[in-house]
Structure 1
Amino acid sequence: MPETPAWRTSPNLALNQLVAERRAAGEDIVHLGFGESRLPAFGPLAEALARGAHRNAYGPVAGSPDVRRALAGYFERRGLPTTADQIVVGPGSKPLLMALQHVLPGDVLLPRPAWNSYAPQARLAGRKAYGVPIPAVCGGVPDPVALRGTVRAARASGGDPRTVILTLPDNPTGTLAPPELVRELCAVAEELDLVIVSDEIYRDIVHDPATPFLSPAEVAPHRTVVTTGLSKSLALGGWRIGACRVPGDAWGERIRDGVVSVASEVWSTLAGPMQEVAAYAFDEPPEIRARLAACARLHGVLAREVHRIVTAAGALCRPPTGGFYVYPDFEPLRERLATLGVTDSPSLQRHLLDAHGVLVLAGHHLGDDEGALRFKAATSMLYGDTAEEQEEALASDDPLGLPHVASVLKHIDDAFSALRGLRRGRP
């Protein structure tokens, strides 16, 4: 018999299960290893879901006209003229990104570090993934100079990198590439004839509304595919609602047809009730806009506070500006950590969990150097254990002052301070 491939669960999902098991055994664990927006489903979204319960037919593979029109308007309001024919919806942006891996040409270029599913998706599609270091200012995009060098070297050695994936704002660093960097990246893509996939699922979680956001689809519309969804901005991860926007030309039509072809053989269509939700949410009535703003504000407050904690403990860390992550580097504490048996990102992850009850996602899971002392900390599950506590945090003018938020932040502060030797860990 042929040898069975060595399959493994995505590391963030595996860690999520580990936390559930250890909490069930009575352990007190702060979960910073999973990027779920832990907020209740907004009431009007639940009402839309109930209204859609009658939508039990399969419907068009690309999505029903109402939801595609709503998404066209969503992109239009963000400076991207769009028609409904440029839209495909699916059960989350993740399967749409997987479909694009099957449809787009050549191998894949990724920022390093990057979301932990991009590289495995490329391998599942038979592609090679090339990691390119991120610039000092932010994550989510490869350094343009390094990108040029990586492409030229790969092509000279027989490789075929043709697609570059960006994340705006970024998972895992919680930063947003500034417009000038996006323009520079697009210029390199034009020079080297690269397709751009812009994962913009965190677009509506920019912490400061005045921060400029430039999508590569505004600069290089003929070579950019955009993906988005409702998992992060409106805390609907379990509902699985995603969309992609292709260029409005003949090449874009071919990409759309390819994604629809994959969809027709894998998920058939986005579930009808979820299309009802998507049409309502992407139309962005006033109550949805207010909810988006409140969520972005809360995510920003907690991300900045965890950034303050890790930098006070001695880490280097880019200030978060979007999403709900920080990506600290504890290299300045290497000698101190070595006395604790911590010498790389796997041992740092283990030490934080076993000694301090804090779970993070080690950087090597994200394509980073395993020997580095870096990890991703997701701050989006710190708002409370109940829907009531979470809504209280969302409505509060001072969420950091709420007892249930303050207590978990103290747990985090104690853990990271202990790395520096300032406080003891758990007894």
Structure 2
Amino acid sequence: MESANPEKWVAGHVSTLPKSGIRDFFELVAKMKNEDVISLGVGEPDFTTPWHIREHAIYALEKGKTYYTSNLGMPELRQEISRYVSKHFSVDYRPEDQVIVTVGVSEALDLAFRAFVNPGDKVMYHQPCYVSYHPSIQLAHGEAIAVPTYAKDNFALTAEALEEAWQPGAKILMLNLPCNPTGGTCTKEQLEKIAAFAREKDLLVLSDEIYSELTFDGVHTSIASLPGMAERTIFLHGFSKAFAMTGWRIGYACGPAVLIDAMMKVHQYAMMCASIIAQEGALEALRHGEDAVARMREQYHRRRDLVVRRFNAMGLACHSPRGSFYAFPQTTGVGMDEKSFSVGLLKEEKVAVVPGTAFGHGGQGHVRACFATGYEQLIVACDRMERFIERRKN
């Protein structure tokens, strides 16, 4: 009998899916685990989840809260989400049918693509972008249309770029503001033009605003708050970044009831509900966590100013990101492409950054440096980076 070849059972659209460029690069980092590597790679806060959030979750566990919740999430959490979004984003959602709690924003995004994308539907997204957007569109059998953003514009998405990239049959516009990996975002005036484009082309907007609390310059505006947009927008948010709750895997989506119901249908069969303990932690975060968010944002702001100043001084041209905890400096000014720079810096100076092409073709000639690590470590990392560059000059 001929032995089986397991590969033949892998779905074609999965077998051709590339592995994450971030994880691929960090295989190299993993091999250096016993060395003094400073990682500016994975986008994770160096802060531990505030104690009052952890304590609340521990108490919930001790009280025996170990059961399923509603598919949509705990009613009291959805009420707090509704209150929080109204206060900070100026959009009102009914907690009973316009809010769904998910396993991180990643699940919310996956639910949206699976609920709204028919095979062949076109989805516009701006690039460079978070590594999962393009693959998530492919997994939903959609067609991805990349819309470029540029360093000269501080990586802000423009309505002009959308007009140029638009194709007949486009159904969805995917936004991430502030953006991972660039830290780029849009002013209210820019968003108003994007909103007008979405209304003109009758697009559904998926707006990932996970970094919104980490806005350093100006005021964050949600596109869902603009006239005529709440009824055509799915607002995606969560707790990982601002509340330092990455491992809790808790997020949410808000939008028109009929669209949230469609997402819930997928969610109830794929996941049933988010962890009740994570939901309890999220409840406490929304009720009493805003002071901690403000303190963490202040530290990120200080770190941003440090790395942007140091990068520009050493010849890595770098715009000042208005939000997130990422800098996106150019390597071409020191005569290196992004891959050679990243690999060389890791091997010679034990500093890990991510090649910009992990985030799409638009990241060519850039690297992503996450400044969600300690201030003193950032100084050491910049010193090492400077030595690395100086050796190339001599």
- Kindly indicate whether residue 162 of structure 2 is the aligned counterpart of residue 150 of structure 1: no
**Which of 12, 16, 22 is matched with 1:12 structurally?**
22
Partner of 1:278: 282
Measure the CA separation in 2 of the matches of 1:313 and 1:185.
36
Q: Give the whole-Å Cα distance in 2 for the aligned partners of 1:185 and 1:10.
A: 29
Q: Distance in 2 between matches of 1:230 and 1:92?
A: 8
1:277-302: CA deviations, max 9, x gaps? 1222123x3xx121010010111111
1:376 is aligned, of 329, 348, 368, to 368
Q: 1:368 & 1:355 partners in 2: Cα distance?
A: 26
Residue 243 of structure 1 and its aligned partner are, at CA, apart by 0.6
Find the counterpart in structure 2 of residue 395 from structure 1: none
Change in Cα spacing, 1:8 to 1:175, as seen in structure 2 (3 Å) is: closer
Q: How many positions carry a matched residue from both structures?
A: 374
Determine which of 19, 39, 47 is the counterpart of 1:39. Answer: 47
Distance 2:32 2:139 in 1: 31
Shift of 1:268: 0.9
User: Which of 106, 113, 120 is the equivalent residue of 2:128?
Assistant: 113
Match for residue 227 of structure 1? 236
Matches within 5 A, 1:196-207: 196-207=205-216
After the TM superposition, which residues 340-351 of structure 1 pair with which residues of structure 2 at under 5 Å, given as runs? 344-351=337-344
Per the alignment, residue 181 of structure 1 pairs with: 190
Q: What is the CA deviation profile of residues 310-336 of structure 1, one whole-angstrom value per residue up to 9, with x for unaligned ones?
A: 1111122220221100011122233xx
Pair 1:80-2:80 in alignment: no
Q: Does 1:162 align with 2:171?
A: yes
Give the alignment's TM-score, normalised by structure 1.
Answer: 0.83
Alignment-derived partner of residue 351 in structure 2: 358
Letter in 1 for 2:294: A
Question: Does residue 50 of structure 1 match 2:62?
Answer: no
Using the TM superposition, give the Cα deviation of residue 142 of structure 1 relative to its aligned residue in structure 2, in angstroms: 3.2
Task: Give the counterpart of 2:224 among 192, 214, 217.
Answer: 217
In structure 1, the residue matched to 2:327 is 326
**Selected match of 1:130 from 130, 138, 145:** 145
Letter in 2 for 1:42: P
Q: Which letter maps to 1:282?
A: L
Query: Over residues 206-265 of structure 1, what are the superposed CA-to-partner deviations in whole Å (9 max), with x where a residue is unaligned?
Result: 225xx222110011212111111111011110111101111xxxxx22211111111112
Letter in 1 for 2:20: S
Q: 1:396 corresponds to which residue?
A: none
Q: CA deviation at 1:176?
A: 2.7
Partner of 1:67: 77
Do the aligned partners of residues 162 and 40 (structure 1) sit closer, same or farther apart at CA in structure 2, a change above 3 Å counting? Answer: same
Partner in structure 1 of residue 32 of structure 2: 22
Whether the aligned pair in 1 keeps the contact of 2:105 and 2:238 (CA below 8 Å) is: yes
Structure 1 residue 420 displacement after superposition: 4.7
Q: Following TM superposition, where does structure 1 have runs of at least 4 consecutive aligned residues deviating by more than 6 angstroms?
A: none
Root-mean-square deviation (Å): 2.0
Name the counterpart of 2:114.
102
Looking at structure 1, the residues matched to 224 and 362 of structure 2 have their Cα atoms a distance apart, in angstroms, of 31
Task: Give me the whole-angstrom Cα distance separating, in 1, the residues matched to 2:83 and 2:393.
Answer: 52
Asked if structure 1 preserves the Cα contact closer than 8 Å seen for 2:371 and 2:378, the reply is no
Per-residue displacement from partner, 1:155-214 (whole Å, max 9, x unpaired)? 2xxxx3211111121111123311111111111111111111111111111225xx2221
Whichever residue aligns with residue 167 of structure 1, its letter is N
Contact preservation (8 Å) 1:51, 1:273:
no
Which of 367, 389, 393 is the matching residue for 1:419?
389
* Distance in 2 (alpha carbons) for counterparts of 1:116 and 1:165: 13
How far apart in 2 are the matches of 1:118 and 1:254?
23
Aligned residues of 2:56 and 2:284 also touching (Cα < 8 A): yes
1:296 paired residue number: 297
How many Å apart are 1:36 and its aligned residue?
Answer: 0.4
CA distance in 2, matches of 1:374, 1:184: 28
Q: Which amino acid in structure 2 is aligned with residue 254 of structure 1?
A: V
Aligned partners of 1:414, 1:17: CA distance in 2, in Å? Answer: 21
The amino acid of 1:34's aligned partner reads V
* Greater alpha carbon shift after TM alignment, 142-151 vs 13-22: 13-22
Instruction: Provide TM-score, normalisation by structure 2.
Output: 0.89
Q: What residue identity is the alignment partner of 2:290? A: R
Cα offset for 1:379?
Answer: 0.9
Which residue, 372, 379, 390 being the options, matches 1:409? 379
User: Which of 254, 259, 268 is the equivalent residue of 1:255?
Assistant: 259
Unaligned runs of 5+ in 1: 247-251, 338-343, 384-399
User: Contact 1:417–1:423 (CA<8 Å) still a contact in 2?
Assistant: no
Q: Which runs of 5+ in 2 are unaligned?
A: none
